[in-house]
Chain A
Amino acid sequence: MFVLPIIGYTFWVIYEFIPLYKQKLWHDFWVNAVLGISSFTIAMLLSLGVEVPSPEGPIRELIISIFGK
């Protein structure tokens, strides 16, 4: 399954990443790179069946600790 994200993200690099580099839009390029690497990492983890922790638990605990059940 991990092949699918690799293929998908390769298309993304060709379609969006290279044009940004050619246009020298460095702000857009670096923000896009950081977001892209994060999303690629999560995609790979999900495709390999790794359980990614959800932010729902900590937020729920925080809200319950403030307002009670």
Chain B
Amino acid sequence: MQKEQLSDKEAIFLIIVFVIGSSLITGVGGEADNDAWIAVVVGLIMVMPMILVFSRILSLFQGKDLFDILTLTLGKRISKIVAIMYIWYAFHLGALVLRNFGEFINIVAMPETPMFVPLFCLGLLCIVAVRLGIEVMGRTTAYFLPILFLIIVIVQLLAIPQLHLNYLKPILGSGLIPVLKGGFSALSFPFAETVLFIGVFGSLKTKKSPFKVYYWGILISALIIIITTIRNLAVLGNMRDSFYFPSYAAVGSIKIGNFIERIEVSVAFIFVFGVFIKSSICLLVACKGIGKMFNLKDYRSIVIQTGLLMIYLSYIIYDNSMMMKYWAFKVYPFYAFPFQVIIPITIWIFAEYKARKNKMNCFSSKCP
């Protein structure tokens, strides 16, 4: 199989789209009410140590992906168990993201159409993208990201007349605890979900680039999320919690003169592209994991079936939108914590130990 190469720029773009994808439209840090933007900042601070851990793991084992690193650090048997957990996490997260898209289409665009139809259409697109490989996804993102940035900037500027900055007050009115809870929620969704990129970034160029890619990717996406959260709060105020998709509602209220209105479709475009890239990355990691576990020649041979299973899981996973919101804000942060924090830190400790042991062996046997 030919080795795929990803430039740093493409990798940063992939992280940005992955992080802003579904979080821009579903909202982040909902527990903190009108301090949600501070919760995003807290989430950003919380994820910084984890970025160091993720990038250190990658730079210790340059050219290896998550599943190779697991085998090298934890041994054959334990690595298989942890690999199964990560395959499930990637597969499940992909299904959750697809379901977000399905709910979005069902609620705002096509309420009469069965939800399976949009899920199946986007799922097929993800299958095609994963079969084409990470290089193609990287290049596609590099083409589309400037358009997404342009849309985000224009929409922010057009929203200025609708802003009521007094909605942001009182700052820390409910105390620090809701902000910390919101920060924890922002850590798990979306920032620390980037743990899955350890399964993708085996093809980065230099030893230092994983840190650079993670750092810039998370920083730029956090900035976009903070600005968007402030806009949503300043436009919708206390009404923010009553919408499933606050960004869509906030942009929907923009009205300049009598001709610039109903521009929420621009937000939908960002959301659809973001969901597409995020689900594709999840599917790619799940397929790579299955491929490595069963020593397949190429992970591409199982993409269609894994993708179809992901579509079916996304269809059956929730009964309604309320359940989706409850899961996203109340259950998911605790469910994802082991995958995003505990296991990566354990892998990192073992990886450091292995790397030092190899170095010592190199010194004693004078290897280059």
Contacts and interface: CB of A to CB of B under 8 A. Distances in A.
B92 to A, nearest CB: 8
A12 interface: yes
Interface of B (DSSP majority class): helix
B315 A56 contact: no
A54 B305 contact: no
A46 interface: yes
A10 to B, nearest CB: 13
B334 A66 contact: yes
Interface string A42-69: 1100100000111110011001101101
Contact of A35 (B306, B318, B330, B331): B306
B252 to A, nearest CB: 30
Interface size class of A (residues with CB under 8 A): 20 to 34
B305 A39 contact: yes
Contacts of B290: 31
B256 interface: no
Interface residues of B, number: 28
B335 A27 contact: no
B297 A25 contact: yes
B93 to A, nearest CB: 13
A37 to B, nearest CB: 9
| Residue with the highest number of chain A CB atoms closer than 10 Å, among B295, B306, B313, B316 | B316
Interface string A1-39: 000000000001000100010000101100110011011
Contacts of A56: 317-318, 323, 327
For the complex of A and B, 9 pairs with smallest distance between CB atoms: A35-B305, A28-B301, A39-B308, A42-B312, A52-B316, A39-B309, A31-B294, A54-B316, A28-B296
Interface of A: 12, 16, 20, 25, 27-28, 31-32, 35-36, 38-39, 42-43, 46, 52-56, 59-60, 63-64, 66-67, 69
